[in-house]
Structure 1
Amino acid sequence: MAKKNINEMSFLDHLEELRWLLVRSTIAILIAATAVFFVADYIFDEIIFGPTKADFITYRWFCELSHYVGFKDSICVESLDFIIQNTAMEGQVNIFVWICIVAGFIVAFPYILWELWKFISPALYPKERKHAKLFIFVASILFFLGVLFGYFVVIPMSVNFFATFKVSSVVKNEFNIESYISMVKTSVIASGLFFEMPIIIYFLTKLGLVTPMFLRKYWKWAVIIILIVAAIVTPPDVVSQIIVALPMLAIYELSIGISKLVYNKKLKELENG
């Protein structure tokens, strides 16, 4: 169990600290969202709607990969036959505001981590508090890698699948903008947070809530869940599912390794008194 400071705060003091953490984090997000406002045209045209274009970089990579492994044009994207439309009067305004906020959250994420570190650091050993910069750097890198994975892998595969799937040639795909933006937000944020698993497992192991034996015991279930998720967000071909599943499996294995290091260190500390 992590060692706490001698002068422990009361429950209300902790709530007050948490409240100010949320206030400062919210202000940081709003400031970042305001900055995003000035480049909103580029964000929407080139980033948000980038995966809706057949010449998007991910589709080109997959096509080259398809040729490399001998699948010819099996996963090449030649066209995406669908349109995105707005059906609500306030729809585009709401989308604009929420994209600014989500982008603001992504940009301000390192600062939010810093606030979170200040909140939990009193419960850590003095020598552990010295690792603040390392924690923020590693956690930020993992989050941004997850965001990139969601944007360059999960979203294009989802768009390609839903754009090309038809129950009949009679039906035309006309996607609501709220549905599309919701998929983009969910894919990016969920992937970013999933890549934070090693950090989360690190703290859970230190608190004694998780052990490497537990994670290894349920490894098969984790693999099944990851493969199911990969099958849901990708087209029904093996190559696409593997491309999504492998990084997720690597993150889970990394989490087990980190948990093992922390667990063994705790055992040594107990043995040494």
Structure 2
Amino acid sequence: MPLMDHLRELRNRLAKAIAAIVVVAVVAAFYSEQIMKFLSDPVPRCTGGLGEKTGGACAVIAYTDLLSPFTTTVKVSLLTGVIVSSPIWLYQLWAFIAPGLHKHERKYTYRFVAAAVPLFLGGAWLAYTIMPVSMKVLLGITPDGSANILPMDKILDFSVRMVLVFGLSFELPLLLVMINLVGMVSGKRMLGWWRIVVMAVFVFGAVATPTTDPVGMIALSGPIVLLYFIAVGFALVNDRRRARNDPGAELDDDEASPLDLTPEDIGGVERVGSPRALPGQTDRDRVNGYDDVT
């Protein structure tokens, strides 16, 4: 299509995606209280007084200014709209990109999405599962005589960041598999990186998790390391399959592939003895100085 038609299609796709997000956000506003309760459930609540029952490992959730209830409700509603309407706006994005892809590229895209969604959901579920433990660890170091008052918007930011960090981190092994499938990195080379990768993953887990406690670091780093070795195993199997189908696939550009010296029957040439004479020419006309046989 011409450029202007592409721009019009992009405008229409964006309009549909934004409309879906707005509609879901408006509906979510009526259930914002239940959504905020779900997001704040990992926080250990103080019962019977501020920090009296659990030795300081608890907190009171509060709104710190006059506009906090309104801004938090709007933020929760928009976040819910983006998440719940994701199938719609992702489809609009795919519908805009797909016509420019080849058939095999679409096939790989379907497989990538089919693997990426469960990995992200698994990371998000793990983040929500360990949040109560991480919060207890952090609140447990509160000095005696002090109380924890947590603003609701801070809890929302904390929960969203935990889910995004864990969900996106779980996509790392899938990225390694994809670059192996396109032939950029071999499984043997990926296996040789394991010491550096394990160290880097644990450093990343310590820095990226908002909790900055060992529980969150181990909970994030352990599954990623396991998924990394699973990706390496897949890459090794894929390299063996590729070597069987194409023995010279793993060679460098300046490395010669092995020659196949097995004798074969070729038309006009006998396996033993000298080749037959070339067929005689019917005329002596030459084209650009060469005869027919040449």
- TM-score range, shorter-chain basis? 0.5 to 0.7
1:181: Cα distance to partner? 1.6
Aligned pairs for 1:141-156 (under 5 A) are: 141-153=118-130, 155-156=131-132
Alignment partner of 2:42: what SS? helix
- The structure 1 residue matched to 2:31, chosen from 30, 33, 39, is 39
Structure 1's 106 and 260: CA in aligned 2 closer, same or farther, altered over 3 A? farther
Letter aligned with residue 30 of structure 2: F
How far residue 90 of structure 1 moved from its aligned partner, in angstroms, is 1.7
CA deviations 1:14-39 (Å, max 9, x no partner) are 77766665554433333332332232
Instruction: Tell me the residue number matched to 2:137.
Output: 161
Query: Who is 2:43 aligned against?
Result: 52
Greater CA drift, 110-119 or 33-42: 110-119
Residues 212/272 of structure 1: CA separation in 2 closer, same or farther (3 Å cut): closer
Unpaired segments ≥5 residues, structure 2:
46-53, 250-294
Q: TM-score, normalised by structure 1?
A: 0.66
1:82 Cα offset (Å): 1.5
Change (3 A) 1:115 1:272: farther
Pair 108,202 (structure 1): closer, same or farther in 2 beyond 3 Å: farther
CA separation of 1:240 and 1:25: change in aligned 2, threshold 3 A: same
> Percent identical across equivalent pairs?
24
Computing the radius of gyration from Cα coordinates, the structure with the larger value is 2
Which residue matches 2:161? 186
Q: 2:227 maps to which residue?
A: 251
Please give the TM-score of this superposition, normalised by the length of structure 2.
Answer: 0.62
Q: Distance in 1 between matches of 2:163 and 2:58?
A: 23
Partners in 2 of 1:161 and 1:251 — Cα distance?
27
Equivalent position amino acid for 1:190 in 2: V
Paired AA for residue 245 in structure 1: S
Quote the Cα distance in structure 2 between the aligned partners of 1:210 and 1:16.
40
Deviation at 1:119, TM superposition (A): 4.7
Q: Output the amino acid matched with 1:159.
A: M
Unaligned runs of 5+ in 1: 1-8, 55-76
How far residue 183 of structure 1 moved from its aligned partner, in angstroms, is 0.7
Q: Comparing both chains, which one has the higher relative contact order based on Cα–Cα distances under 8 Å and sequence gaps of 6 or more?
A: 1
1:1-273 equivalence runs, <5 A: 22-45=14-37, 47-53=38-44, 80-122=57-99, 124-130=101-107, 134-153=111-130, 155-166=131-142, 168-205=143-180, 212=187, 215-231=190-206, 233=209, 242-257=218-233
1: CA distance, partners of 2:227 / 2:97: 24
- In structure 2, the CA distance between the partners of 1:23 and 1:213, relative to structure 1 (3 Å rule), is farther
Contact conserved, 1:226 with 1:248, CA < 8 A, in 2? yes
